[in-house]
Amino acid sequence: MIVQKYGGSSVATAEKIRGVAERIKQRVDRGEKLVVVVSAMGKTTNSLIALAEQVSQEPSPRELDMLLATGEQVTSALLAMALCDMGIPALSYNAFQLGLTTTGSFNNARIMDLNLSRLRMQLERRSVLVVTGFQGVTPEGDVTTLGRGGSDTSAVAIAAKCGCPCEIYSDVPGVFTCDPNRVPGARKLDYITYDEMLELSSLGAKVLHSRAVEIAKKYSVDLYCGSTFSDERGTCVVNSLPEWLEQPVVSGVTTDSNQTRLTISRLPRSMEALSALFTGLAEQGVNVDMISTVNENGHSHLTFTVVDATEKAVLRTVRDVLAPWEGWSVSEDRNVVKVSAVGVGMKSAPGVAARFISALSRKGIAMLGTTTSEIKISALVATEDGNAALRALVEEFGLGE
């Protein structure tokens, strides 16, 4: 048994859906059984969100999920029809029909459990089941969605529960050292580790959703990323690189433009103020990323970046929380991007940080902040320097063809 997932670009038109059906038929003809997880067609999800905003200034999260879940249902039914037309007796299922239960966090729910009894019963009778990705249902029966990239998470969760491999298909033939649309000559990787893929996904790479990689790593799911539109070899995501393969210091670089930098000057140098600030941000669901402080004359100058938060929400929270203190000021800068290098080889290779910094310095790119982990180095740079920084790191670490 294999779980396959096809992204929105793979099923964007009726012709492409029939093409996917042809690929599935080839596997069935070889005697395989497949659970096929699908996304909504093309930009359907964006269109549905725009439609909701035409009728409501602030759509209810619950009703928005009811609306968005229809996109995948359309795709799954059409693909099942195409397969039946080819002589493959497929059935389509909503996630809730298979007992895929989630938390009640509308628009960004997390999978809690999956009932395989119906899935196994149907696979005894036929070779293909087509399942809606991106969605589930709460124990109370409300439809939920899993957030952007949620179809990846659906597919990997089903594969983990079934104990079988998972293949992710899209319009790119695998995982590259960086975005090939931005850096011509970016090299495709035959293998990448779960840890590296998790870092790259969380730092802005679009190939795989980070929560899907988390599940794959936790349950040791064999994960493969390939192209829907060619038979070119893709990328295997593995626990560790094969012994015969030379381990690179850096496996990939990526950028994340979804960052806002806030600077608070002359903040009272007390843990009480800092604790109140970050507690308040957490309570508002603000995702704080890079943090740095400078202490001077009894005051702190604090700089941090936030992800996935609107300017007004963050500034309002900062001002409300710090209202009891006086003398401070806050400013924000949206003209920033985070550029990151990732690689398990960093653990054993000295001087990676020096090479990273030197590569940016040679191009005259100023770093506005940094953060590191065992296998990652990130720097905040001005938006206009983002592409140059990406190319500099590709060149420095030999990530091109």
**Could you tell me where the beta strands, DSSP code E, fall in 127-251?**
128-132, 135-137, 143-145, 166-170, 191-193, 223-227, 235-238
Coil/strand/helix, residue 59: coil
| Token couple for 72 | 């995948």
Q: Which residues are annotated as a binding site for substrate?
A: 45, 72
CB 215 within 8 A of CB 164: no
Q: Where are the alpha helices (DSSP H) in 86-222?
A: 117-123, 150-162, 194-202, 210-218
Q: Which residues are annotated as a binding site?
A: 5-8, 45, 72, 206-207
Please provide residue 254's backbone torsions phi and psi, each rounded to the nearest 5 degrees: -150, 170
Q: How far is CA 328 from CA 201, 263, 295, 324, in A?
A: 36, 10, 14, 11
DSSP 220: T
What is the DSSP pairing of strand 34-38 with strand 287-296?
unpaired
Q: Which residues are annotated as a binding site for ATP?
A: 5-8, 206-207
Q: How far is CA 40 from the centre of its chain?
A: 17
